[in-house]
Amino acid sequence: MLRKIVQKISIFINDKPLPPVRDDELRLIDELKDSFSKLSLPEKTTGLHSEMQWFQNMKRLKELVLTGNPREFLRWDVIKKTMFVASAKYIPVELKYLKERENWVTRWESAINESCAGHPPPYAFYPKSSGNLIHQAYHLAVFEANTEENVLDIDLVVEFGGGYGSMCRLFFNLGYKGKYIIYDLEPFSFLQKFYLKLINIPVLTTENFKSSEKGVLLLSDLLQLENALDGVNKFRAMFLATWSISETPLDIRRSFTPLISEFGSYLIAYQDTFGEVNNIEYFDEWKKRRSDINWVNYPIEQISGSSYLIGKAL
């Protein structure tokens, strides 16, 4: 009870109003609304639990973009339900882990300073950040601890299901100098474009991706992803999916996974089961296909029913 009272008081004190809207924000909001106004969503799904759930999420997101205030999108119900961790019980564990890293002061402390873009609720017990950003930093710190690889040494990151772009933002907060691809459903690609441009992260096009040294490419088409990956050094590429590919129907996974099957690094967090899919069995088979990868697979103690699969080429 006392913790909840302290939490409410902290949020009341630290939850600042947004600054006045800028002209560039207004242009990005108009661009976002225009993209969603032209968006056609499928009328039917296959009936699978995982597909029906994401269809409803897309439908709700479109409704909120067209009728709500995108400056406040991180407070929308569909965002909080699917891609923004606010004050979950496991955040204190993860923040403690980060603070105990020897590079907390020189690296993680500044990297998790939250932006006002989207108006994220502050984390009550560390209001300079949000629960969501702390959660994502924890994933990267765990990856580095298990692989002894600095994520900044990776040339290309491919993230499956990138939420609103926050993990991508964290890479650039850390000083990432490479390329980043987010593969997602089209409505979420629109949202990612809005957010990343809002915080001045370079968003690339399919035309300038290969000639650019740094930036983010947002894709929802498998052929475009295949073309973008053509000729890249896959040994120096990382595949990243936190509770995303494990929420995806198996037929979509089968189409996607061959494109990242030869990567040198993997960071995956997954639910043990999701709808009709047994993910423990699924990722056991995944590991068997790459004997040249040093796999680390274990339950996430603070999140019941979820596990990490982390790998790095030998």
Is the pLDDT assigned to residue 9 strictly greater than 80?
no
Give Cα separations from 280 to 89, 103, 225, 237, 253 (angstroms).
24, 33, 27, 24, 15
Tell me: do 28 and 174 sit in the same domain.
no
Query: 106 lies in a domain?
Result: no
- The residue range of the domain holding 197 is 145-313
Task: List, for residues 30-77, the tens digit of each pLDDT value.
Answer: 999 999 999 988 766 556 666 778 788 999 999 999 999 999 999 999
Tell me how many degrees the CA angle 25-216-41 measures, rounded to the nearest 5: 70
Of 31, 60, 82, the position where a domain reaches its end is: 82
Task: Tally the residues of the chain.
Answer: 314
Task: List, for residues 133-189, the tens digit of each pLDDT value.
Answer: 999 999 999 999 999 999 999 999 999 999 999 999 999 999 999 999 999 999 999
Tell me: do 190 and 272 sit in the same domain.
yes
Query: 237 lies in a domain?
Result: yes
* Structure tokens, 69: 């205030």
Query: 188 lies in a domain?
Result: yes
Tell me: do 154 and 262 sit in the same domain.
yes
The answer to whether the Cα torsion of 65, 68, 73, 79 is positive or negative is: negative
pLDDT of residue 49: 66
Contact 197, 206 (CB under 8 A): no
Tell me: do 50 and 149 sit in the same domain.
no
| pLDDT-based confidence at residue 8 (cuts at 50, 70, 90) | low
pLDDT of residue 42: 75
- What is the number of structural domains in the chain? 2
Of 57, 82, 107, the position where a domain reaches its end is: 82
Q: Which residues contact 166 (CB under 8 A, 6 or more apart)?
A: 83, 84, 132, 133, 136, 195
User: Taking Cα atoms as reference points, which of 261, 307, 303, 304 lies closest to residue 286?
Assistant: 261
Tell me: do 195 and 58 sit in the same domain.
no
CATH at residue 181: 3.40.50.150
